[in-house]
Amino acid sequence: MGAAAPLGSLPAAEWLITDQGFDADWFQEALKHRGIRPYNPGRKSRCKAVLYDKRRYKRRNRIEIMFGRLKDWRRIATRYDRCAIVLLCVVALAATTLIWL
C-alpha cells in the first residue's frame, strides 16, 4: 500500500489534514495509534459518517497553493537537482523568496 510506507517516518504532530483518498479505516487507526488526529472528510460511499473539523480542512488549499507557487520555479518542478540536500536548499530559497516578495 502506498500510504503505509511513510507512516513510520511521520514526524510528531497533533493533527494531519488529508483528502478523501486517505479515508481507509486502517490508515485512520494507524494515525490515532501514533497520537495524530486525522482531519479528512469521509468518502461518499462510506456508511458511517466521519467527524472532522470543516474549518481546518478548508485551510488545506493554502498548502496546495504554496506547492503550486514552488512549482513555478522550473528547477524544482523538473527536479533538476538530483541530490536531496541541494533540492532542499533550492526549495528553501524559493520559499523564502516567495514570502519576501
Domain layout of the chain by residue ranges: 5-58, 61-100
Per-residue pLDDT of the chain (101 residues; tens, 9 = 90+): 566 667 777 778 787 777 777 777 788 888 888 888 877 777 777 777 677 777 877 777 777 887 788 778 777 777 777 788 887 888 888 888 877 76
Residue 27: how many CB atoms within 10 A of its CB? 19
Residue closest to 22 by CA, chosen among 53, 47, 46: 46
Query: Rounded to whole angstroms, how far apart are CA atoms 71 and 75?
Result: 8
Cell numbers for 77 = 518542478
Tell me the per-residue pLDDT of 82-92, one tens digit each, with 9 for 90 and over: 788 887 888 88
pLDDT of 2 reads 64
With cell 468518502, the residue in question is 43
With cell 528547477, the residue in question is 75
Q: What is the pTM of this model?
A: 0.54
